[in-house]
Amino acid sequence: MTNPEISTGGVPVDAAPVGADIDAPAQTPSSPRKGMFGITGSGDVSGFGGLVRRQPEVIGSPKPYGSYFDEVTDALEEAFPAFADAIEKVVVEHDELTLHVKAERIAEVAQAMRDDEALRFELCSSVSGVDYLNSDARRLHVIYHLTSMTYRRRVRLEVAVPLEGTVPTVTSVYPTADWQERETYDMFGVVFTGHPNLTRILMPDDWEGHPQRKDYPLGGVAVEYKGAEIPPPDQRRVYQ
Amino acid sequence: MSYAGERETTEGRVFTVTGGDWDSITNNIDPLSNEKIVVNMGPQHPSTHGVLRLVLELEGETVTDVRPVIGYLHTGIEKNLEYRNWTQGTTFVTRADYLAPLFNEAGYCLAVEKLLGITDQITERANTIRVLFMELNRIASHLVWIATTGMELGAISMMLYGFREREYILDIFEETTGLRMNHAYFRPGGVAQDIPDSAIKKIRDFLVYMPKKLKEYEAMLSGQIIWQERTQGVAVLDVTGCLALGITGPVLRSAGLAWDLRKTMPYCGYEDYEFDVPTATTADVWGRYQVRMAEMRESLKIVEQALDRLKPGPIFVADKKIAWPAQLAVGIDGMGNSLEHVAKIMGQSMESLIHHFKLVTEGFRVPPGQVYVSLEHPRGELGVHAVSDGGTHPYRVHLRDPSFVNLQAIPAMAEGALLADVIAGGASLDPVMGGCDR
């Protein structure tokens, strides 16, 4: 356990990443958190026991990437001179192309992806976030899925920022990212600079915390109904 | 007589209207000093397709500003998924867009299968059943659209007919999955159980029954002058606007772009079916009505082809480390383990029992990585972004729900138009708040 002092308030504690090998035995260091059914430590599949997550390292793919991926990266290199500086890694996996982009360059890259004749990613299909707990400098990832209707291609852009980091908005390139960036802000707390109206969208305006973060507990909020308060599962009585 | 309650606030006078009481507002304000009225429509309003809230600024009857407010039906489906195993995930996603539950399941299962690398191992029968059920579901979803939109634009009988025919489809679903909605019928690796012969017969009957009904709807609506006036030239959004705002599905096709993922990026074997992608060029509510009516006919075509190619065979992948160990069966209280399987693991085979227990309680492991899978949902592109860290539970699953993205178009469609057209335009997007808020 790296930081035992932050084990307060029923929030799962940061656990050191355990081997990236998928065949490794399920090592689950004991968690100070109690599960819903009185289970402590590991082996809990109820979901309330503070599951230990393992973090495989992302490795860049070697050229040639295959499929249409070489064409896309070559076209982007041509259309976007700062390619080498802005693109950290190119990953091909599950027959999908991922470009890891430096957070501060994402809007420029998106602009090139949309406007270049050979790229033409007209549609921003989806913006979502992922919280990689334990990787502090690259903890929050924002992931953009672009679609080229002209060439029938898809590409994924991924940026990573620390907790307090900011990402330039892509709403000026793709207006459809407006609500999706608001959702990512609401759920993960990623701040999109230059967004026209970065407010919460799914949670109430006065909500505290960002629910999709990994250190935000499931059902960790007391529920109030007609004046009576029901504590969150991990703070309820335990029958053993 | 005044129906509307009123009170003074720092923002001005606030009225609570319930319908039929517009006079008490107009009589109580001075038209010269109060040109602008802010109307808060929803979240509980019969015309908002669930708990959508629209804050409208009006000048007279002209809408000058619309602000959609969502989130009233946020249930944390994506968060909950992370605390269940991969197979259980399908019971959560099915509850997102409740009018198209099978599409959510299909998108999720395709994503998990892609992560597992077993996409090409999905049996032909499982794929055919998926296509068959998705297309029936598409018809059911479009029927609710025509029913609710008819009701909102004054054609109440359309509402009754639409829901009546949808009931037919729900009966077919119930016969096969044990449930009318929220089926959890598609599972990573296949489908939960086979279609009974009685359901096949029902589908055959439906194929005869439905085309006549579609004709009836058109006979009732298309020539109707009120229907025409309420839909033609209303809530126009062209292809440029659609692409900028990320609008897909029937709304995009009503603007003339034949973008249908079943054709352009096929999945589940859609490339082997013959069907057309209906489009319109008017880019208005009328065009969306025509596209959806035509799509129901195309779906019937696909259902018929799927029935013809339904050959006996396995409905789950052969890999015993993934396939659900039991053959499930529909009992009086819904779907559950078949009694024969229970007798076998309890009485004969200890190994089967252990295997069953491990797979059901812990689930299977999915190799680390991320995928994005998309499919043509009745409302547009449904995208599933699934991330695995190599464990038995999803690390993160995001649903790119078409209702969520499409609702962004309401201001573009409604500003500058009349208040009544907000209803028609909003309805033409066919938003389902369960999917929008997840």
| Structural domain includes residue A214 | no
| Structural domain includes residue A166 | yes
Chain A residue numbers with beta carbons less than 8 Å from the beta carbon of B74 are 202-203
> How many CB atoms are closer than 10 A to CB A224?
9
List chain B domain ranges. Answer: 91-113+120-318, 328-361
Backbone angles phi, psi at A226, to 5 degrees: 50, 45
Q: Can you give the pTM of this predicted structure?
A: 0.84
CA-wise closest residue to B363 among B94, B116, B76: B116
10 Å CB burial of residue A9 (0-12, 13-18, 19+) is exposed
Query: How many angstroms separate the CA atoms of B56 and B64, rounded?
Result: 8
The strand pair at B334-337 and B328-331 is best described as antiparallel
How many Å separate Cα B345 from the centre of its chain? Answer: 38
Give tens-digit pLDDT for A61-88. 888 888 888 888 888 888 888 888 888 8
Give the pLDDT of residue B17. Answer: 73
Superfamily of domain B91-113+120-318: Cytochrome-c3 Hydrogenase, chain B (1.10.645.10)
Q: Which residues, 6 or more positions from B34, have their beta carbon under 8 angstroms from its beta carbon?
A: B12
| pLDDT, average across residues A158-173 | 91
Q: Which residue, among B74, B81, B373, would best test binding to A if mutated, counting the most A CBs under 10 Å from its CB?
A: B74
Q: Distance (Å) from the C-alpha of residue A94 to the closest C-alpha of chain B?
A: 7
C-alpha distances in Å from residue A65, one per residue of A99, A150, B21: 12, 21, 66
| Structural domain includes residue A9 | no
**Which residues 359-378 of B are in CB contact (within 8 Å) with A?**
361-363, 365, 367-372, 374
Chain B residue numbers with beta carbons less than 8 Å from the beta carbon of A122 are 243
**Which residues 300-319 of B are in CB contact (within 8 Å) with A?**
none
Chain B residue numbers with beta carbons less than 8 Å from the beta carbon of A48 are 83
Chain A residue numbers with beta carbons less than 8 Å from the beta carbon of B408 are 175-176, 178-179
> How many CB atoms are closer than 10 A to CB B37?
17
* Amino acid in the structure at residue B60: G
Nearest-by-Cβ selection for B390 from A46, A56, A178:
A56
Question: pLDDT category, A134, cuts 50, 70, 90?
Answer: confident
Query: How many angstroms separate the CA atoms of A207 and B48, rounded?
Result: 25
Number of structural domains, chain A?
Answer: 1
The residues facing B65 across adjacent strands are B57
10 Å CB burial of residue B46 (0-12, 13-18, 19+) is exposed
| Structural domain includes residue A6 | no
Q: Which residue has the tokens 């819904």?
A: B334
Q: Which residue in chain A has the smallest CA separation from B382?
A: A125
| Structural domain includes residue A156 | yes
Nearest-by-Cβ selection for A212 from B79, B259, B400:
B79
Q: Which residues, 6 or more positions from A229, have their beta carbon under 8 angstroms from its beta carbon?
A: A222, A223
ipTM above 0.90, yes or no: no
Does A223 contact B at CB distance below 8 Å?
A: no
Backbone angles phi, psi at B108, to 5 degrees: -65, -45
Angle between helices B419-429 and B285-308 (to 10 degrees): 20
Q: Which residue, among B359, B379, B398, would best test binding to A if mutated, counting the most A CBs under 10 Å from its CB?
A: B398
Q: Distance (Å) from the C-alpha of residue A214 to the closest C-alpha of chain B?
A: 9
| Structural domain includes residue A136 | yes
Does A230 contact B at CB distance below 8 Å?
A: no
Q: Distance (Å) from the C-alpha of residue B65 to the closest C-alpha of chain A?
A: 15
**Which residues 132-151 of A are in CB contact (within 8 Å) with B?**
143, 145, 149
Q: Distance (Å) from the C-alpha of residue B374 to the closest C-alpha of chain A?
A: 9
pLDDT above 50 for A47:
no
Q: Which residue in chain A has the smallest CA separation from B368?
A: A56
pLDDT above 60 for A6:
no
> How many CB atoms are closer than 10 A to CB B423?
23
**Which residues 173-202 of A are in CB contact (within 8 Å) with B?**
174-180, 183, 187, 200-202
Q: Where are the alpha helices (DSSP H) in B180-245?
A: 197-221, 225-231, 239-245
Number of A–B residue contacts, CB under 8 Å: 130
Does A91 contact B at CB distance below 8 Å?
A: no
C-alpha distances in Å from residue B348, one per residue of B266, B343, B352: 44, 8, 9
C-alpha angle B33-B34-B36 in degrees, rounded to nearest 5 = 135
- What CATH number does the domain containing A187 carry? 3.30.460.80
Q: Which residues, 6 or more positions from A135, have their beta carbon under 8 angstroms from its beta carbon?
A: A55, A160
Chain B residue numbers with beta carbons less than 8 Å from the beta carbon of A131 are 396
Give the pLDDT of residue A233. Answer: 66
| Structural domain includes residue A102 | yes
Q: Where are the alpha helices (DSSP H) in B309-416?
A: 339-347, 350-361, 402-406, 410-414
- Greatest Cα-to-Cα distance within chain B, rounded to the nearest angstrom: 86
With an 8 Å Cβ cutoff, are B398 and A202 in contact?
no
Q: Please give the residue range of the domain that contains residue A122.
A: 69-193
pLDDT above 60 for A46:
no
pLDDT above 60 for A172:
yes
With an 8 Å Cβ cutoff, are B383 and A48 in contact?
no
Q: Is B373 helix (H, G, I), strand (E, B) or coil?
A: strand
Give the pLDDT of residue B3. Answer: 57
Question: pLDDT category, A34, cuts 50, 70, 90?
Answer: very low
**Per-residue confidence in pLDDT tens, chain B, 438 aa:** 455 677 777 777 777 777 667 677 677 666 666 677 888 887 777 777 778 888 988 887 888 889 999 988 898 899 888 888 898 899 999 999 999 999 999 999 999 999 999 988 899 999 999 999 999 999 999 999 999 998 888 888 999 999 999 999 999 998 888 888 888 899 998 898 888 888 999 999 999 999 999 999 999 888 889 898 889 989 899 999 999 999 999 999 999 999 999 999 999 989 999 999 999 999 899 999 999 999 999 999 999 999 999 888 888 888 888 887 766 666 666 667 777 778 888 888 888 888 888 888 778 888 888 999 999 999 999 999 999 888 788 889 999 999 999 999 999 988 888 888 888 888 898 899 988 998
| Structural domain includes residue A176 | yes
pLDDT above 60 for A15:
no
Does B65 contact A at CB distance below 8 Å?
A: no
Chain A residue numbers with beta carbons less than 8 Å from the beta carbon of B381 are 125
Give the pLDDT of residue A21. Answer: 40
